[in-house]
A and B are shown apart, each in its own frame.
Chain A
Amino acid sequence: DSGVTQTPKHLITATGQRVTLRCSPRSGDLSVYWYQQSLDQGLQFLIHYYNGEERAKGNILERFSAQQFPDLHSELNLSSLELGDSALYFCASSPRTGVVSGELFFGEGSRLTVL
Protein backbone atom coordinates (compact mmCIF):
# COMPACT_ATOMS: atom_id res chain seq x y z
CA ASP A 1 0.00 0.00 0.00
CA SER A 2 1.62 3.22 -1.22
CA GLY A 3 -0.52 5.47 0.96
CA VAL A 4 -1.94 7.26 -2.10
CA THR A 5 -5.70 6.88 -2.45
CA GLN A 6 -7.57 7.30 -5.68
CA THR A 7 -11.32 7.29 -6.22
CA PRO A 8 -13.26 5.99 -8.00
CA LYS A 9 -11.45 2.79 -8.96
CA HIS A 10 -13.65 2.25 -11.99
CA LEU A 11 -15.83 4.64 -13.92
CA ILE A 12 -17.97 4.05 -16.99
CA THR A 13 -19.51 7.00 -18.75
CA ALA A 14 -20.67 8.21 -22.14
CA THR A 15 -19.05 10.46 -24.72
CA GLY A 16 -19.58 14.13 -24.06
CA GLN A 17 -19.85 13.69 -20.32
CA ARG A 18 -17.67 15.13 -17.55
CA VAL A 19 -16.02 13.22 -14.71
CA THR A 20 -13.89 14.08 -11.70
CA LEU A 21 -11.13 11.84 -10.41
CA ARG A 22 -9.91 12.32 -6.89
CA CYS A 23 -6.52 11.72 -5.31
CA SER A 24 -5.38 11.87 -1.71
CA PRO A 25 -1.58 11.90 -1.49
CA ARG A 26 0.49 10.24 1.21
CA SER A 27 0.36 12.05 4.50
CA GLY A 28 2.77 14.96 4.37
CA ASP A 29 3.48 14.80 0.63
CA LEU A 30 3.16 18.19 -1.00
CA SER A 31 3.56 17.18 -4.65
CA VAL A 32 0.87 15.50 -6.70
CA TYR A 33 1.36 14.26 -10.25
CA TRP A 34 -1.26 12.98 -12.67
CA TYR A 35 -0.47 10.42 -15.37
CA GLN A 36 -2.57 8.80 -18.06
CA GLN A 37 -1.84 5.22 -19.12
CA SER A 38 -3.25 3.85 -22.32
CA LEU A 39 -2.25 0.89 -24.47
CA ASP A 40 -1.12 2.95 -27.43
CA GLN A 41 0.46 5.96 -25.68
CA GLY A 42 1.90 4.31 -22.59
CA LEU A 43 2.30 6.44 -19.46
CA GLN A 44 1.89 10.13 -20.23
CA PHE A 45 2.60 12.89 -17.73
CA LEU A 46 -0.35 15.25 -17.45
CA ILE A 47 0.27 17.79 -14.71
CA HIS A 48 2.17 18.46 -11.48
CA TYR A 49 1.02 20.42 -8.44
CA TYR A 50 3.10 21.40 -5.46
CA ASN A 51 1.43 22.70 -2.30
CA GLY A 52 -1.56 23.99 -4.22
CA GLU A 53 0.31 25.56 -7.12
CA GLU A 54 0.61 24.22 -10.63
CA ARG A 55 4.27 23.49 -11.34
CA ALA A 56 4.32 21.82 -14.73
CA LYS A 57 2.06 20.71 -17.52
CA GLY A 58 2.69 17.79 -19.78
CA ASN A 59 0.46 16.31 -22.46
CA ILE A 60 -2.75 17.50 -20.88
CA LEU A 61 -5.63 18.29 -23.19
CA GLU A 62 -7.48 21.60 -22.86
CA ARG A 63 -10.60 19.59 -21.99
CA PHE A 64 -8.81 18.39 -18.88
CA SER A 65 -8.06 20.45 -15.80
CA ALA A 66 -6.78 19.80 -12.33
CA GLN A 67 -6.39 21.47 -8.99
CA GLN A 68 -4.85 20.82 -5.62
CA PHE A 69 -6.75 21.93 -2.56
CA PRO A 70 -5.46 23.36 0.76
CA ASP A 71 -5.72 19.91 2.36
CA LEU A 72 -3.42 18.73 -0.49
CA HIS A 73 -5.87 16.38 -2.14
CA SER A 74 -6.16 16.81 -5.87
CA GLU A 75 -8.86 16.43 -8.48
CA LEU A 76 -8.54 15.82 -12.20
CA ASN A 77 -11.52 17.00 -14.21
CA LEU A 78 -12.13 15.49 -17.63
CA SER A 79 -14.83 17.07 -19.79
CA SER A 80 -16.38 16.54 -23.22
CA LEU A 81 -15.16 12.98 -23.00
CA GLU A 82 -14.20 11.09 -26.12
CA LEU A 83 -13.70 7.38 -26.70
CA GLY A 84 -9.95 7.95 -26.79
CA ASP A 85 -9.97 9.25 -23.23
CA SER A 86 -10.56 5.71 -21.99
CA ALA A 87 -7.48 4.91 -19.94
CA LEU A 88 -6.05 4.33 -16.50
CA TYR A 89 -5.43 7.61 -14.70
CA PHE A 90 -2.79 7.53 -12.01
CA CYS A 91 -2.03 9.96 -9.28
CA ALA A 92 1.39 9.94 -7.66
CA SER A 93 2.80 11.91 -4.77
CA SER A 94 6.17 12.84 -3.39
CA PRO A 95 7.31 14.92 -0.45
CA ARG A 96 9.34 17.31 -2.56
CA THR A 97 8.89 19.64 -5.47
CA GLY A 98 10.20 17.32 -8.07
CA VAL A 99 11.65 13.96 -8.92
CA VAL A 100 15.23 15.04 -8.49
CA SER A 101 15.49 13.72 -5.00
CA GLY A 102 13.54 10.53 -5.14
CA GLU A 103 10.71 8.35 -6.12
CA LEU A 104 7.06 8.85 -6.79
CA PHE A 105 4.43 6.93 -4.86
CA PHE A 106 1.59 5.83 -7.11
CA GLY A 107 -2.02 5.16 -6.32
CA GLU A 108 -3.86 2.18 -7.74
CA GLY A 109 -5.40 4.27 -10.49
CA SER A 110 -8.87 5.12 -11.75
CA ARG A 111 -9.94 3.14 -14.78
CA LEU A 112 -12.11 5.29 -17.04
CA THR A 113 -14.17 3.72 -19.78
CA VAL A 114 -15.95 6.03 -22.22
CA LEU A 115 -18.69 4.38 -24.25
Chain B
Amino acid sequence: SQQGEEDPQALSIQEGENATMNCSYKTSINNLQWYRQNSGRGLVHLILIRSNEREKHSGRLRVTLDTSKKSSSLLITASRAADTASYFCATAGYLRAGSYQLTFGKGTKLSVIP
Protein backbone atom coordinates (compact mmCIF):
# COMPACT_ATOMS: atom_id res chain seq x y z
CA SER B 1 0.00 0.00 0.00
CA GLN B 2 1.16 3.53 -0.70
CA GLN B 3 1.57 5.92 2.20
CA GLY B 4 2.82 9.01 0.40
CA GLU B 5 0.63 10.63 -2.22
CA GLU B 6 2.27 13.17 -4.50
CA ASP B 7 0.48 16.07 -6.06
CA PRO B 8 0.34 16.89 -8.91
CA GLN B 9 0.72 13.60 -10.78
CA ALA B 10 2.29 15.47 -13.68
CA LEU B 11 3.82 18.93 -14.03
CA SER B 12 5.08 20.69 -17.12
CA ILE B 13 7.06 23.92 -16.83
CA GLN B 14 9.45 26.08 -18.83
CA GLU B 15 13.16 26.01 -18.17
CA GLY B 16 14.08 28.58 -15.54
CA GLU B 17 10.76 28.35 -13.70
CA ASN B 18 10.35 26.85 -10.25
CA ALA B 19 8.70 23.48 -9.75
CA THR B 20 6.78 22.59 -6.61
CA MET B 21 5.66 19.08 -5.75
CA ASN B 22 3.64 18.11 -2.71
CA CYS B 23 3.42 14.93 -0.72
CA SER B 24 0.88 13.87 1.88
CA TYR B 25 1.11 10.85 4.13
CA LYS B 26 -1.06 9.13 6.70
CA THR B 27 0.89 7.76 9.65
CA SER B 28 3.66 9.02 11.91
CA ILE B 29 7.13 8.96 10.41
CA ASN B 30 10.75 9.06 11.44
CA ASN B 31 11.88 10.87 8.31
CA LEU B 32 10.75 11.72 4.83
CA GLN B 33 12.93 11.39 1.76
CA TRP B 34 12.67 12.56 -1.83
CA TYR B 35 14.02 10.52 -4.71
CA ARG B 36 14.34 11.15 -8.42
CA GLN B 37 13.95 8.58 -11.18
CA ASN B 38 14.87 9.15 -14.78
CA SER B 39 12.75 7.11 -17.15
CA GLY B 40 13.31 3.39 -16.57
CA ARG B 41 16.36 3.98 -14.38
CA GLY B 42 17.12 3.48 -10.72
CA LEU B 43 16.03 5.90 -8.03
CA VAL B 44 18.47 8.51 -6.82
CA HIS B 45 18.23 9.99 -3.34
CA LEU B 46 17.84 13.77 -3.29
CA ILE B 47 17.26 14.85 0.28
CA LEU B 48 16.14 13.59 3.69
CA ILE B 49 14.26 15.60 6.27
CA ARG B 50 13.73 14.29 9.79
CA SER B 51 10.44 14.54 11.64
CA ASN B 52 11.83 17.22 13.97
CA GLU B 53 12.96 19.43 11.08
CA ARG B 54 10.76 21.90 9.24
CA GLU B 55 12.89 22.91 6.27
CA LYS B 56 16.01 21.74 4.51
CA HIS B 57 18.02 22.98 1.55
CA SER B 58 20.36 21.25 -0.85
CA GLY B 59 21.57 23.24 -3.85
CA ARG B 60 18.48 24.17 -5.89
CA LEU B 61 16.25 21.96 -3.74
CA ARG B 62 14.16 23.09 -0.80
CA VAL B 63 12.10 20.65 1.21
CA THR B 64 9.56 21.52 3.89
CA LEU B 65 7.85 19.21 6.31
CA ASP B 66 4.68 19.88 8.29
CA THR B 67 4.09 16.93 10.60
CA SER B 68 0.85 18.43 11.93
CA LYS B 69 -0.60 18.35 8.42
CA LYS B 70 1.34 15.22 7.46
CA SER B 71 2.63 16.89 4.34
CA SER B 72 5.86 17.83 2.64
CA SER B 73 6.82 19.86 -0.40
CA LEU B 74 9.78 19.78 -2.72
CA LEU B 75 10.74 22.97 -4.52
CA ILE B 76 13.18 22.92 -7.40
CA THR B 77 14.31 26.42 -8.27
CA ALA B 78 15.52 27.62 -11.67
CA SER B 79 14.63 24.32 -13.32
CA ARG B 80 16.67 22.86 -16.14
CA ALA B 81 15.79 20.40 -18.90
CA ALA B 82 17.96 17.86 -17.08
CA ASP B 83 15.53 18.00 -14.14
CA THR B 84 12.96 16.17 -16.27
CA ALA B 85 12.21 13.01 -14.29
CA SER B 86 9.74 11.46 -11.86
CA TYR B 87 10.00 12.57 -8.26
CA PHE B 88 8.94 10.38 -5.36
CA CYS B 89 8.46 11.08 -1.71
CA ALA B 90 9.16 8.21 0.64
CA THR B 91 8.24 8.01 4.28
CA ALA B 92 10.30 6.07 6.79
CA GLY B 93 7.96 4.59 9.34
CA TYR B 94 8.30 2.01 12.05
CA LEU B 95 7.35 -1.45 10.83
CA ARG B 96 8.31 -3.64 13.75
CA ALA B 97 11.21 -4.24 16.11
CA GLY B 98 14.46 -3.63 14.32
CA SER B 99 12.94 -2.49 11.07
CA TYR B 100 11.67 0.64 9.48
CA GLN B 101 10.01 0.58 6.12
CA LEU B 102 10.48 3.15 3.37
CA THR B 103 7.11 3.58 1.66
CA PHE B 104 6.95 5.38 -1.66
CA GLY B 105 4.23 7.44 -3.25
CA LYS B 106 3.31 7.11 -6.92
CA GLY B 107 5.38 10.10 -7.92
CA THR B 108 5.13 13.36 -9.80
CA LYS B 109 6.27 13.33 -13.40
CA LEU B 110 8.08 16.61 -14.09
CA SER B 111 8.73 17.81 -17.62
CA VAL B 112 10.97 20.85 -18.07
CA ILE B 113 10.65 22.35 -21.53
CA PRO B 114 13.80 24.01 -22.91
State the A residues within 8 Å of B (CB). 2, 4, 33, 35, 42-43, 45, 48, 50, 55-56, 58-59, 88, 90, 92, 97-100, 102-109, 111
Any A CB within 8 A of the CB of B92: yes
Across the A-B interface, give the 8 residue pairs with the lowest CB-CB distance, nearest first: A103-B45, A56-B99, A43-B104, A98-B100, A106-B42, A99-B92, A42-B106, A106-B43
Q: Please, how many residues of chain B have a CB less than 8 angstroms from a CB on the other chain? A: 27
B100 is contacted by which of A100, A107, A109 (Cβ under 8 Å)?
A: A100
Task: Name the A residues within 8 Å of B95 (CB-CB).
Answer: 56
Q: Is A42 touching B104 in the complex (CB atoms < 8 A)?
A: yes
B42 is contacted by which of A45, A48, A55, A109 (Cβ under 8 Å)?
A: A109
Q: Is B103 touching A100 in the complex (CB atoms < 8 A)?
A: no
Interface members, chain B 1-60 (any A CB < 8 Å): 1-2, 30-31, 33, 35, 40-45, 48
Q: Is B45 touching A88 in the complex (CB atoms < 8 A)?
A: no
- With both beta carbons as reference points, the residue of chain A lying nearest to B99 in the complex is identified as A56
Q: Contacts A48-B101, A55-B99 given; 14 further ones with Cβ under 8 A?
A: A35-B104, A55-B98, A58-B101, A97-B99, A98-B92, A98-B99, A99-B31, A99-B33, A100-B100, A103-B33, A103-B45, A106-B42, A108-B41, A111-B40
- With both beta carbons as reference points, the residue of chain A lying nearest to B106 in the complex is identified as A42
With A43-B104, A56-B101, A58-B101: A107-B42 Cβ-Cβ less than 8 Å: yes
Q: Is B104 touching A97 in the complex (CB atoms < 8 A)?
A: no
